[in-house]
Amino acid sequence: MCSFVLEYMISRGISFILIATLSFAIMNAMAKDLTGFHPMQVVFFRAFGTFVFVFPYMVYKGVSIKGHNPKLLAFRGLAGVISLATFFFAIQRIPLGSAISIRYLGPIFGAVMAFIWLKEKINGLQWLSFMIAFTGVIFLKGFDIRIDYISLTLVLISAFFVGMVFVLIRYLSATEHYMTIINYFMVISITVSLFFLPHWRMPLFHELTSVIGIGIFGLVGQVFMTQAFQTEETSVLAPFKYMELVYALIMGYFFFGESYSFLPFLGIVCIMGGMILNVLAKKRKTKVSS
């Protein structure tokens, strides 16, 4: 047991994924801290704060700006904007941990879309994991009065488009540089957010930390997440991605005064457990097929 723990402790991939999930959790907390802004302005802060670093780097390194499949790259960017915008709308209305928990259903939608479009098989254990996760959503919605149906719908839409993004990235990664994919996402996010310019306002001094930090931590999360999956197997890393929820629950408690009674928390555990079971089921399927 000790050697097992030690092996994971010294893994660079695990270190990278923990840094990435912490960065994303901080980014989401900063987005919730900007509740006084229109959510599409928060999308702009997130996208522009990353774009100002990514685009010059791409030019310096000679990474393709246009890419090989502009239409599909643009579609991936639009799907990402919808997912991000609906998520930011939701976290202005409901607890941070609840929103992130429900958004974790994204891989389920992604698996179903991959089943339909990419002909990837889903085994029985995966279907069981999906049922457990959706049961968790029912518990969370049914026993937490802070979650209204509009907010639940927003997060489910966000999760659906997260799943679509997963499938599109998997398809695009064979021909596109990961920076090109990120840059399309940022450019389209900025462009779409500008349509909501009449709803914007100038940040106050005490809001500048979150305004600036949301893009920086989003970029750090994306870079370390990419590095993690380049240095370690997906089956090893995937369970650790759910540390983002642990971070979010801690931040929600200390910064926003969010707490949970037993049954809503049980719902979060079911969602998290179902998604981890999905990862293990996929790993088992890979071993059997090989």
Tens of pLDDT along 48-61?
A: 999 999 999 999 99
pTM of the model: 0.86
The answer to whether residue 257 sits within a structural domain is: yes
* Size (the chain), residues: 290
The answer to whether residue 76 sits within a structural domain is: yes
The answer to whether residue 269 sits within a structural domain is: no
The answer to whether residue 89 sits within a structural domain is: yes
- Quick: pLDDT tens for 33-50: 999 999 999 999 999 999
In eight-state DSSP terms, residue 243 is H
Residues 6+ positions from 38 with CB-CB distance below 8 Å: 196, 199, 200
The answer to whether residue 185 sits within a structural domain is: yes
Residues 6+ positions from 94 with CB-CB distance below 8 Å: 146, 147, 148, 151, 155
The answer to whether residue 68 sits within a structural domain is: yes
Residues 6+ positions from 196 with CB-CB distance below 8 Å: 38, 40, 41
Structural domain total, the chain: 1
Average pLDDT value for the chain:
87
The answer to whether residue 169 sits within a structural domain is: yes
- Cα angle 235, 238, 242 (rounded to 5 degrees) comes to 155
Domain of 189 in residue numbering reads as 13-111+145-261
Q: Does residue 69 carry a pLDDT above 90?
A: yes
Query: Which residue's entry shows tokens 């399309």?
Result: 184
Query: Is 264 within 8 Å of 143 (Cβ atoms)?
Result: yes
The answer to whether residue 251 sits within a structural domain is: yes
Q: Does residue 260 carry a pLDDT above 80?
A: yes
- Quick: pLDDT tens for 118-176: 777 888 888 898 899 889 898 888 888 899 999 999 999 999 999 898 888 888 888 89
Q: Does residue 202 carry a pLDDT above 60?
A: yes
